Amino acid sequence: MSVTIKTTINGKPVSASADASTSLLEFLRDTLEMKGTKLCCNTGECGACTVIFNGKPINSCVTLAADANGANIITIEGLAKDDTLHPVQQAFIDTGAVQCGYCTPGYIMSVKALLERTKKPTAEDIEEAVSGNICRCTGYAKIVDAIHLAANRIAGRA
Amino acid sequence: MDYFEPKTLNEALSLLQKHGEQTKVIAGGTDVMVDIKYKEEPGGLINIKKIPGLSGIQENGGSLRIGPLTTIREIETSALVRDKLPVLWEASHQFASLQIRNTATIGGNICRASPSGETLTPLLVLEAKAKFAFSDGAKSEPFTSFFHGPGKSSLGAKGLLTEIEIPIPAAGSKGMYLKHAVRGAMDIAMVGVAVLIIPDAAKNNLQDVRIGLGAVAPTPVRAPKTEALLRGKPLTAALLKEAAAMAASESSPISDQRSSAEYRRWIVEALTRRGLEQTWKAATGKEVA
């Protein structure tokens, strides 16, 4: 059975139909052809599919697309303004926190949500915020550096 | 696959009465979506998230009442839960990842009826009750008898959980949830142990002790023999050793990809010992002698 989903993605109203069993990740990637959000484990364990859903980071692979009705969703495609990257994106580049890059969109969404909750995250805040994101290249130290850099730049400290 | 979005509890109950055997109830979806992708797709989904009144945390008549659609993150960040039910807070804090906690609901964790469900042993030691409904009436049952086996509970195919009622434990009690897993985040518990102790007024003896064991039997279970052994006594080193070994003997774990049964029994012993020792110290200010 097909359902119609009316939602807001990156500030723009979207309306499309999908099978009722469709996940939000499949809706983004396959129905809307927004490929920035990544499919990896498809079980809610790796965080590659993280999007911000009504202000909170969630795993889009284990969220029913139908639940997006009336919701406000931010994906990786919604961060850059024209040619200017979001400070979190720029910090990942400047610290070399991107290796193969597959986990990066998910990390960036988790970090964006973190820096909206707190301007000066502690080591504990950072660990909590990205403990649901796995980097198989294991470049964790540089990711943590990127988070500190982004936090400092957003707060005007760097 | 059929899809229903009931707007009222009664509508959901009549849908369950009619289609309960072929459909699955979905709330947060963090377990059901995985089943859809990797196991068999159900005949239909009944999405209960649009039903009003099934979410929130309230203190009322000496209990906290939690709506089944309340997310694990809402429980983790509730000052009321942290203050009144620290053992449930600890389990919520150790629950999967932030992304999952933002979506997963306590009702989903309960209705999944997994032996390793993170919030279940805390609910057992808090002597919480499930309130649930069928199309022909409402019921209430302690969680100590609510779980029947992996994935099976008193809800059957046609019941819907409507509230979790958790009595606030006596002043002076101390609770603790200990989880053993390889990774800090995301891992399913190999063993989970919840301990709640209530010392007597003079803080000399254990007036009441409740021990919940997770992931070591077909359902989350209490350890009644161990609790009886400890009740009314001061916690000495010899008693602590005997109690921890007895708790291990009361578990009936299986071997699976996460660990062997033998290893799980050792962990039950270690976590029970640690939980009793630390709650005794926190509740009485005394070391185990």
pLDDT of residue B30: 97
In this predicted structure, the answer to whether residue B186 has a pLDDT above a threshold of 80 is no
Q: Which residues of B touch A (CB under 8 A)?
A: 1-3, 5, 26, 29-30, 33-34, 36-38, 41, 45, 47, 49, 73, 96-100, 102-103, 184-186
Mean pLDDT across chain B: 96
> Which residues of chain A does B38 touch, with a Cβ-Cβ cutoff of 8 Å?
42-43
Environment class of residue B33 by beta-carbon count within 10 Å: exposed (0-12), middle (13-18) or buried (19+)? buried
Contact map slice: A 120-149 vs B, CB within 8 A: 128-129, 131-133
Closest CA to A114 of A91, A148, A71, A66: A148
Distance CA(B147)–CA(B163), nearest Å, equals 16
CA triple A109-A61-A85, angle to 5 deg? 20
Share of chain B above pLDDT 90, in %: 95
Contact residues, chain A, for B41 at CB < 8 Å: 21
Please write down the long-range contacts of B154-157, taking CB distance under 8 Å and 24 or more positions apart. B154/B130, B155/B111, B156/B20, B157/B16, B157/B20, B157/B21
pLDDT the model gives residue B182: 84
Indicate yes or no: CB of A58 within 8 angstroms of CB of B103.
Answer: yes
A61 contacts chain B (CB < 8 A): yes
Flag if A62 and B184 touch (Cβ within 8 Å).
Answer: no
The per-residue pLDDT for B258 is 86
B257: confidence class by pLDDT, cuts 50, 70, 90: confident
Closest residue in A to B185 (Cα–Cα): A131
pLDDT score recorded for residue B215: 95
Query: From edge to edge, which strands make up the β-sheet containing B221-222?
Result: B174-180, B191-199, B206-214, B221-222
Span A31-65, pLDDT tens digits: 999 999 999 999 999 999 999 999 999 999 999 99
| Positions in chain A whose pLDDT score sits under 50 | none
Radius of gyration of chain A (CA): 15
| Neighbouring residues of B266: CB distance < 8 A, sequence distance ≥ 6 | B248
From the list B47, B100, B184, the residue facing A66 with the nearest CB is: B47
- Sort B188 into a burial class: Cβ within 10 Å, 0-12 / 13-18 / 19+: middle
pLDDT digits (tens, 9 = 90+) for B43-92: 999 999 999 999 999 999 999 999 999 999 999 999 999 999 999 999 99
The answer to whether the beta carbons of residues A43 and B38 sit under 8 Å apart is yes
Nearest to B194 by CA among B109, B94, B93, B119: B119
Q: Is A18 helix (H, G, I), strand (E, B) or coil?
A: strand
> In this structure, what are the phi and psi dihedrals at residue A123, rounded to the nearest 5 degrees?
-60, -35
Confidence (pTM): 0.96
Question: Do residue B103 and residue A59 have CB atoms under 8 angstroms apart?
Answer: yes
Q: How far is it, in rounded angstroms, from Cα A3 to Cα A16?
A: 8
Q: Do B45 and A64 touch (CB under 8 A)?
A: yes
Token pair listed for A39: 């499919």
pLDDT (average), residues B227-237:
98
The whole-number average pLDDT for the span B95-100 is 96
A17, A9 contact by CB (below 8 A): no
- Please tell me which of the candidates A23, A47, A66 has its beta carbon nearest to residue B3: A66
If DSSP codes are grouped into helix, strand and coil, which group holds residue A71? Answer: coil
In this prediction, residues B244-255 reach a mean pLDDT of 96
Cα-based torsion angle of the residue sequence B29, B31, B32, B38 in order, rounded to the nearest 10 degrees: 130
The three-class DSSP label of residue A125 is helix
Greater model confidence, B259 or B223 = B223
Q: B233 CA to chain A: closest CA distance, Å?
A: 39
**Are A125 and A118 in contact, with CB atoms under 8 Å apart?**
yes
- How is residue B38 written in tokens? 């990797």
Task: Give the confidence band of B183 by pLDDT, cuts at 50, 70, 90.
Answer: confident
CA nearest A75: which of A15, A118, A119, A28? Answer: A28
Q: Answer for the pair B142, B63: CB distance below 8 angstroms, yes or no.
A: no
Q: Look at A67 and B36 and tell me if their CB atoms are within 8 Å.
A: no
pLDDT exceeding 70 applies to what percent of chain B?
Answer: 99
Region B18-39: what's the mean pLDDT? 96
Tokens of B258: 């996460």
Chain pair A-B, CB pairs under 8 angstroms: 85
For residue A158, what pLDDT is reported? 80
